[in-house]
A and B are shown apart, each in its own frame.
Chain A
Amino acid sequence: MNNTILEIIRLKKTFGGVIAVNDLDLTVAKESITAVIGPNGAGKTTIFNLTAGFLAPTSGSLIFDNQDISGKKSYEIARLGISRTFQHVQIFPEMTVLENIMIGRHVRSRAGLFVSSLLPYFLRKEESKIQEDAEKYLEFVGLQPVSGKHAGELSLGNQRMVEIARALASEPKLLLLDEPASGLNARETLLLGDLINKIKDTRITVMLVEHDMELVMDISDHVAVINFGQLIATGTPSSVQENQDVISAYLGE
């Protein structure tokens, strides 16, 4: 139990008659990189949406850090220490890169509307602290050169980095990356792999959904294979690659 950060128990999610996640059991070990793979439509993103509170499960439960989080709202889950990125990048295009990352500090700061309305920002200590902290994460992903640019002007690769930095800025215990490599070129994917390893070194657990098998096999400690909303195999990257069920699921035999 102590070595588990996330425990998914008999999780089920149906949309009308479609069963997206079907009695799924899955555990994610602390400070690991766990990849969730599977064919298109297997229910991977649904699992993420359930974990991050974007959807409520039909039945079953999600235990995060010894706490039941099933059915909690996304902002509550974010406060408990789960951050996520999105399959289709969700940044704040009209805000600068630094401001985007400062949003990540939201859960780690307190200032309310009332106090803020009375004092200009340069008289508020917390505001400069937020900026200082955000700059650390900016540096962590290497985006200092574009700090003042509008996030919407960046390349897709850099927008992904903004998203990851924003997620990290909330100091999560668990980071969910939804297809972080999609749309990235080979060089960017390589850098992404390095970054994910670097994140793991800061003792943050990383869970990712990914189609780029080279990346998955390269960085993951554990791989969970999902098909039709069910877990069909789990283990180290090499053991999963040799699993007969996995091969048939991917090749459609």
Chain B
Amino acid sequence: MGTKDYLGIIWFSIILVVTPFIIGNDYYIGILVFAAFNCLSCIGLSLLMGYAGQISLGHAAFLGIGAYSSALLTVKMGWSPWLAIVLGIILAVIMALVIGIPSLRLKGHYLAMATLGFGSIIHIVTVAAVDFTGGPAGISQIPTLNIFGFPINSDVKYYAFIWIIVVIGLFFALNIIHSRSGRALRAIHGSEDAAGSSGIHTSRYKIRIFVISAIYSSIAGSFYAHYVNYIDPGPFGIMHSVLLVTMVAVGGMHKVWGAVIGSILLSVLPEILSTISEVVEGYGIEYKPDYDTLIYGSILLAIMLFLPGGIFQGVGDGFKRLKKLFTRKTSSAV
């Protein structure tokens, strides 16, 4: 049953390799690099949402912790970027434990509340601690990454680098799901009482998976900082946390693949919308940027109402139905 997922990784990698040759435009490749950051965060988040059944409304804060650790340590302290990434991870883990231990020991959705508060605190700190974080002006001149002296200094190089990281992250996530621990997590989602009586330490598993999802986001944040070379508090607010949750929900919570597809779709969507707006304005109709929010909202609403399992599952079910329809027709014809 799990073999399919590993085959999926191979197909996914092939698509990733072929894509830059098809689009061949640095601007669009840059968008796919941004999609990769979201994708990495969403893989972690889907482990938490789809498998442990918990929601985090503060994952952008972990992105922020990674990004600011990398930025501050490399720019102000002159650390090696790789060491800074590790420290970012350690900080994210500590934060996740501080929030997770009290809120995940309780049954129910206390984590959502706790992370919501945590997300706003981190955002406020990034804005208000001007001396430390640079405030709204942010931090600039973040160095580009080097791998063994080989600089990752173009969009195409970064595209290759970051998607390799995503595939590795995906590989780890799929391994976790198809393991004793993954099964335990799904069991907790199914019935916490039954999981407990089967010897599963439910709160410990939930805390661990929350920590893992925080690590994914922290890494994504660090790599984001090194890609754009300049960060400000903007992308680490609550709205981005909500967007990440939306990506996971749109793709389908109960599959890691759903998070992958959802995050890519919603990362590319603004580009599609801007193309549409140009077309619309070509006909003399005014397109306001606020319409984007309207369209996001409608998509989320439509998914929740008509495809509660997400696009991934929805498309899969659609195919199955079509297949059934055709096999029935052919069999009746024979």
B175 cross-chain contacts in A, Cβ below 8 A: 116-121
| Neighbour of A103 across the interface among B3, B171, B187, B201, CB < 8 A | B187
Q: Is B2 an interface residue (CB 8 A)?
A: yes
Chain B, Cβ-Cβ closest to A163: B194
- B193 to A113, Cβ gap below 8 A? no
What is the interface size of chain A, counting residues whose CB is below 8 A from a CB of the partner? Answer: 42
Q: Is A236 an interface residue (CB 8 A)?
A: no
Min C-beta distance of B195 to chain A, whole Å: 7
A118 to B191, CA, bound (A): 27
Q: Is A68 an interface residue (CB 8 A)?
A: no
- A54 to B193, Cβ gap below 8 A? yes
- B196 to A78, Cβ gap below 8 A? yes
A111 to B174, CA, bound (A): 15
- A91 to B199, Cβ gap below 8 A? no
Q: Is A73 an interface residue (CB 8 A)?
A: yes
Q: Is A124 an interface residue (CB 8 A)?
A: yes
Q: Is A22 an interface residue (CB 8 A)?
A: no
- A52 to B197, Cβ gap below 8 A? yes
Min C-beta distance of A104 to chain B, whole Å: 6
A126 to B183, CA, bound (A): 14
- CB contact list, A165-190 vs B, under 8 A: 166-167, 170
- B186 to A92, Cβ gap below 8 A? yes
B176 cross-chain contacts in A, Cβ below 8 A: 113, 116-117
- CB contact list, B4-34 vs A, under 8 A: 6
Q: Is B293 an interface residue (CB 8 A)?
A: no
A99 cross-chain contacts in B, Cβ below 8 A: 183, 186
Q: Mark B173-190, 1 if CB is under 8 A from A, else 0.
A: 111101111111011011
A94 cross-chain contacts in B, Cβ below 8 A: 186, 189-190, 254
Min C-beta distance of A108 to chain B, whole Å: 9
A166 to B198, CA, bound (A): 8
With contact pairs A118-B175, A121-B178 given, residues A93 and B190 touching in the complex (Cβ less than 8 Å): yes
Q: Is B172 an interface residue (CB 8 A)?
A: yes
- CB contact list, B185-243 vs A, under 8 A: 186-187, 189-191, 193-202, 208, 212
- Which residues of B are interface residues toward A (Cβ below 8 A)? 2-3, 6, 171-176, 178-184, 186-187, 189-191, 193-202, 208, 212, 254
Identify 13 new A-B residue pairs, CB closer than 8 A, beyond the known A92-B186, A117-B176: A53-B196, A54-B197, A75-B196, A79-B199, A92-B189, A103-B183, A106-B200, A111-B181, A116-B175, A118-B172, A127-B178, A170-B198, A170-B199
11 pairs, A vs B, C-beta closer than 8 Å: A75-B196, A86-B197, A90-B197, A92-B195, A94-B190, A99-B183, A106-B200, A107-B198, A111-B181, A113-B208, A118-B172
